[in-house]
Amino acid sequence: MVVVVATIKSVSFYTQKDGQQLIYTPFREDTETVGQRALNSMLNAFIMIGVILVMTLVLVVLYKYRCYKVIQAWLFFSNLLLLFFFSLIYLGEVFKTYNVAMDYFTLAVIIWNFGVVGMICIHWKGPLRLQQAYLIMISALMALVFIKYLPEWTAWLILAAISVYDLLAVLCPKGPLRILVETAQERNETIFPALIYSCNVNIPHGVSLSPVVAMAPTAQPEDDGGFTPAWVNQQQHQLGPMQSSEDSRREIQELPSARPPPVEDDEERGVKLGLGDFIFYSMLVGKASATASGDWNTTIACFVAILIGLCLTLLLLAIFKKALPALPISITFGLVFYFATDNLVRPFMDQLAVHQFYI
């Protein structure tokens, strides 16, 4: 989130409205009446959600029928695109902002290194920290792209709609994400590393595991007691003539190791958070910093709101030991804080400053 805010503040490219919109939001917002605008943005939001839903279903179907190769290839290419193409654009804009000359040779070396090491870290084996860093970077890039190319009201509506969708998709028995996670659980597999961010916590082997086991009466012999369904969020993104398929998925998964034998302690522990979560959190904060009249006040308020939401979500996760959607709580807080701060707190502070009245 910090990366996104920093970029928005410094590089004006991402806040320029050059009139280009994603193909998935065909309705313009610069219309005459408020009613028209509201209608258009709602339609845009519906279309986006529809796209996400379709992509989710496709992914679930592929997973169910064990077309792993297809999924992997898809993820591979979308990451490839992100790591090379988007970072190229990003770097170009950063250099332009700081008025620095850059030659093609050095640029090629930098992008090539960044991209290839990123692919290696995410899809193969690499140090955990580096993998986390790369995942964060691509999430930030996606969020920046969204901020630039989604018109105002559509963006806010999409955030709200996605939270609702998330809630439904994860908690309803027929939700696609729930199916995905349960299928993964049945097959005793982990979801693809390219879609999840894992905060591995190393717990020494001597830790007692019995309380955890007790909480999972239906625990299968090898797997975790608490298990969380995945929330799959996929977006397709099209920039001008480029055809690109970008998908990111989120899930919250907690794998407390419920196995008494220490041999099995090789399982990963720790909380797993899906990448889509990062993207939407960053998008919220980025939008807040880009368009708020309250400037830093609003941004910081949103930041704090999201973090609080995340803590609450993790708390609930510990209590329920089920998959939980990560978005709703944080996004709700974030949105509430944004609109409240923007419209209420800012004028208040201004008035205080004008009258030199310190609380």
Partner 1 sequence: MNLERIPNEEKLSLSRRYYLGGFAFLPFLWLVNVLWFFREAFLKPTYTEQPQIKSYVKKSALGLIVWVAVLTTWITIFQHFRAQWGEVGDYLSFTIPLGTA
Footprint of partner 1 (CB under 8 A): 92, 95-96, 99-107, 109, 112-114, 116-117, 120, 125-128, 130-131, 200, 202, 266
Least Cβ distance, residue 90 to partner 1 (angstroms)? 13
Least Cβ distance, residue 247 to partner 1 (angstroms)? 24
- Using CA atoms, how far residue 244 sits from 12, 181, 194, 247, in Å, is 24, 26, 17, 10
| 255 and 270 Cβ atoms separated by less than 8 Å | yes
Catalytic residue among 18, 166, 224, 265: 166
Q: Is 14 exposed, middle or buried (0-12, 13-18, 19+ CB in 10 A)?
A: buried
Q: Give the Cα separation of 345 and 350 in Å (integer).
A: 9
Q: Is 64 helix (H, G, I), strand (E, B) or coil?
A: helix
Least Cβ distance, residue 256 to partner 1 (angstroms)? 17
Q: Give the Cα separation of 330 and 171 in Å (integer).
A: 17
Least Cβ distance, residue 116 to partner 1 (angstroms)? 6
DSSP per-residue letters across 128-164: HHHHHHHHHHHHHHHHHHHHHHS-HHHHHHHHHHHHH
Is 152 or 268 the residue whose CB approaches partner 1 more closely?
A: 268
Catalytic residue among 223, 224, 277, 342: 277
Laid out side by side, the sheet with 196-200 consists of 196-200, 270-274, 253-254
Is 104 or 358 the residue whose CB approaches partner 1 more closely?
A: 104
Least Cβ distance, residue 288 to partner 1 (angstroms)? 29
Least Cβ distance, residue 119 to partner 1 (angstroms)? 11
The answer to whether residue 265 is catalytic is no
Is 111 or 216 the residue whose CB approaches partner 1 more closely?
A: 111
Is 42 or 126 the residue whose CB approaches partner 1 more closely?
A: 126
DSSP code, position 226: S
Which residue's entry shows tokens 């009466």? 217
Q: Give the Cα separation of 178 and 228 in Å (integer).
A: 8
Q: Which residues pair with 253 in a beta bridge?
A: 272
Is 65 or 104 the residue whose CB approaches partner 1 more closely?
A: 104
Picking from 8, 97, 12, the residue whose alpha carbon sits closest to that of residue 299 is 8
Q: Which two tokens stand for residue 332?
A: 């709700």
Is 100 or 242 the residue whose CB approaches partner 1 more closely?
A: 100
The answer to whether residue 277 is catalytic is yes
Catalytic positions: 166, 277
